[in-house]
Structure 1
Amino acid sequence: MTLPPLLSRAPHGGPSSAPFSGLDFSVNTNPYGPNPVLLAAIREADHAHYPDPTYLVVRERLAAWHGVAPQNVALSTGASDLLHRLARAFLPAGGGLLSLHAPFGELARAAALQRAQVQVVAQLPAQLPGQVQLVYVGHPHNPTGRRLSPNALQAAARACEAAGALLILDEAYAPFVPSEPLPDSEAVVRLLSPGKAHGLVGARPAYALAAASVTERLENLAPAWHLPAGTAAVLSALPQAQAFLATTLPQVQAQAAALAGALSRLGPVEHHGTPYLTLEVADAAPVTAALLSQGLRVRDCASYGLPQRIRVSSRTPRDNQALLGALTSLLNAPPRGKQED
């Protein structure tokens, strides 16, 4: 039997197998988490018994919160799993994925596993190219923080409807920026991974809102009991856990803006209100390595097609000051082998 070659894992920020005890600016999460309401939900969950395999109560609570029917909700442990299921369900071999800017690495890998084609564009066309089944938009995009206007999103939804394609809106970081109207379309699949905003990424809560014809295929590809009891409890408690966001997210936004302003003195910064920003440093790899040697982890953006930029996610003011000091020393240092006059 001849099997296809194995595909490398998509690079991500955050921890690796190597020990690390410094300050991690590579993960886009709320530094004031975890949300105590959701943490309590995990502790109180029934971990001794199998959950309802349909997770009906969880889906009903999320559906009521969003104003949809329970059959419009698909649950997941992490948005990555939903992306892989979307690719398996709707992206045949030889099919096409169109991504506005660089796609999330897991989606690109999911497409590659399906032997599908990925096309990255700077602007979505009014008419989709042939063979495109999925269109991906980070809303806002990671790592740039850009997002489409409501009119542009509506136009993208219409283009997908006309082509029989699905428009995936990845809203992982939407809670960090002001909300705007979204298209009301059967072609839209909303992906929500609230662990980022609630500072609870380890629980991996995620869900999709979509037409029932889409969610039933996503559910069909999930194994039995695919959601641990604690993750299900987090999703069920989300509607009652929003006060934490109202208190902490304005602080995160203000501190990210302050960090972006300070870093702009060192090089071009792109920041659009998200907790993360990118800084141009000429060559991200050595800068990332130098910071890591000082106990500061940032994200090298080479995998996004931006090898000259690092992505930084804001932490507390004290932590941000430590990063600013290290970057100031590093980027203002004279080239190796050359001394200042």
Structure 2
Amino acid sequence: MTSPRCFSTSVPLHGGPDAAGVPVFDFSTNSNACGPCPEALHAVQAADATRYPDPAYTALREALGAFHGVAPGRIVLAASASEFIHRITALAAQQGAVQVAVPQYSYGDYAQAAQVRGLEVLRGGGAAAGLQWACEPSSPLGLEDPALGAWRPGDAAAARRVLDCAYVPLRLDPEGAWTGAPQPYLPSASWQLWTPNKALGLTGVRAAYAIAPPDGEEQALGLTALAPSWPVGAHGVALLQAWTQATVQQWLVRSLRTLGAWKARQQALCTDLGWALHAGSLANYFCAQPVSVKLQSDLAALRASGIKLRDATSFGLPGTVRLGVLAPAAQDALQAAWQALPGRTIPHRVSNGSGETS
């Protein structure tokens, strides 16, 4: 639990490019490494940037509503997921919220948005007297969020709950794998926040949308009123329109098969390096604990060689890194760079007599 008077002045930590520029091999983000989706990229490149979008986003909200099978009035456009996180937190504070519940390990913007507004942060979920967050699957571990088991339809608290669906389209497990349409297991009584740019491999295009609960159109109007004019530009509109197209969804579904094979190879490579894997990830990323007594300097050395991993300390997991799944060439570069670090040794693997090693 953090003090409601504890304000953060530091820049939130994120993966991706940094002051050193664009990494050659970037394991620090969860963007779809099979991307960019060609059709979505073409739509973004063809966007007419000489004109304002429709300020009401009429056609876009209709397309997104049809894609999800909901009324367009339940769709709220956002400049990005992070922008929506701050906006809905501001609305919750405006309506008298005093607490925000966030997962034990989670995206830092949930807590940061609460702290800068003087709200108390409850880690590990719980029935906060305000706003409740869940992420499916969770980040950084890629697990099913335990909070969802307590989110029952018809609960009076549903309007104060937000499910971050950023990684739903990137689930790789057979039971929950994305099929090209929203999954029926998602709790419809809560808010849903969607950011397709990760799934389409176009994270540089900042655009997102949220879906209000069935009885939440009035709250959707309140959130829209809090937004500046045109929160989503022409390129973001093009991305979100492309997201609803069947051919784009077919590309995404095909890419998941490739990501699944790459993930198995990357996890095996990490195991060969002697890293301890956090089990159970359902998505295109996972966490591991490298064998290192000076992890920060090792990560800095990797970054200097063009390879970036996501230090999970800010998630509450010191000594751990989160790795987005990348192609085999990037994996091999990581292996070579790690083994080239000073004092690095390769774990000795002994045959068990069956052709396998241990």
Residue 325 of structure 1, CA deviation: 2.8
Match of 1:216 in 2: 221
In the alignment, which of 313, 323, 331 is matched to residue 334 of structure 2?
A: 323
Q: In the aligned structure 1, how far is the partner of 2:303 from the partner of 2:130?
A: 40
Match of 2:109 in 1: 106
1:257–1:273 Cα contact (<8 Å) kept: no
1:203–1:231 Cα contact (<8 Å) kept: yes
Match of 1:234 in 2: 239
2:132–2:161 Cα contact (<8 Å) kept: yes
2:101–2:132 Cα contact (<8 Å) kept: yes
Match of 2:354 in 1: none
Match of 1:267 in 2: 275
Residue 84 of structure 1, CA deviation: 0.6
Q: In the aligned structure 2, how far is the partner of 1:68 from the partner of 1:263?
A: 43
Residue 154 of structure 1, CA deviation: 5.0
Fraction of identical pairs, as percent? 32
Matched letter for residue 296 of structure 2: A
Gapped runs of 5+ residues in structure 1? 335-341
Matched letter for residue 312 of structure 2: C
Residue 319 of structure 1, CA deviation: 0.9
Match of 2:130 in 1: 133
Matched residue SS, 1:264? helix
2:8–2:116 Cα contact (<8 Å) kept: no
Match of 1:146 in 2: 143
Q: In the aligned structure 2, how far is the partner of 1:267 from the partner of 1:115?
A: 39
Match of 1:308 in 2: 319
Residue 141 of structure 1, CA deviation: 1.0
Q: In the aligned structure 2, how far is the partner of 1:70 from the partner of 1:175?
A: 21
1:133–1:164 Cα contact (<8 Å) kept: no
Matched letter for residue 305 of structure 2: Q
Matched residue SS, 1:203? coil
Backbone CA RMSD of aligned residues: 2.3
1:279–1:310 Cα contact (<8 Å) kept: yes
Matched letter for residue 100 of structure 2: L
1:99–1:119 Cα contact (<8 Å) kept: yes
Q: In the aligned structure 1, how far is the partner of 2:335 from the partner of 2:97?
A: 46
Cα displacement string for residues 199-240 of structure 1 (whole angstroms, at most 9, x for unaligned residues):
011112211011213321221111111211111111112121
Q: Is 1:183 matched up with 2:178?
A: no
Q: TM-score, normalised by structure 1?
A: 0.87
Pairs within 5 Å for 1:186-197: 188-197=190-199
Residue 28 of structure 1, CA deviation: 0.9
Q: In the aligned structure 2, how far is the partner of 1:215 from the partner of 1:262?
A: 46
Matched letter for residue 113 of structure 2: A
Pairs within 5 Å for 1:1-341: 7-92=9-94, 95-121=98-124, 124-125=125-126, 128-129=127-128, 132-148=129-145, 153=148, 155-157=150-152, 161-163=155-157, 166-177=160-171, 178-179=177-178, 181-185=185-189, 188-210=190-212, 211-240=216-245, 241-265=248-272, 266-271=274-279, 272-281=281-290, 284-330=295-341, 333=344
Residue 329 of structure 1, CA deviation: 4.6
Matched letter for residue 228 of structure 1: G
- Give the direction of change, closer, same or farther, for the CA distance of 1:280–1:331 in structure 2 (3 Å limit): farther
- Give the direction of change, closer, same or farther, for the CA distance of 1:182–1:6 in structure 2 (3 Å limit): closer
Moved over 6 A (4+): none
- Give the direction of change, closer, same or farther, for the CA distance of 1:157–1:325 in structure 2 (3 Å limit): farther
Q: In the aligned structure 2, how far is the partner of 1:287 from the partner of 1:257?
A: 24
- Give the direction of change, closer, same or farther, for the CA distance of 1:147–1:292 in structure 2 (3 Å limit): same
Q: In the aligned structure 2, how far is the partner of 1:26 from the partner of 1:226?
A: 27
Cα displacement string for residues 74-109 of structure 1 (whole angstroms, at most 9, x for unaligned residues):
111210011010100013577111112223112221
- Give the direction of change, closer, same or farther, for the CA distance of 1:104–1:214 in structure 2 (3 Å limit): farther
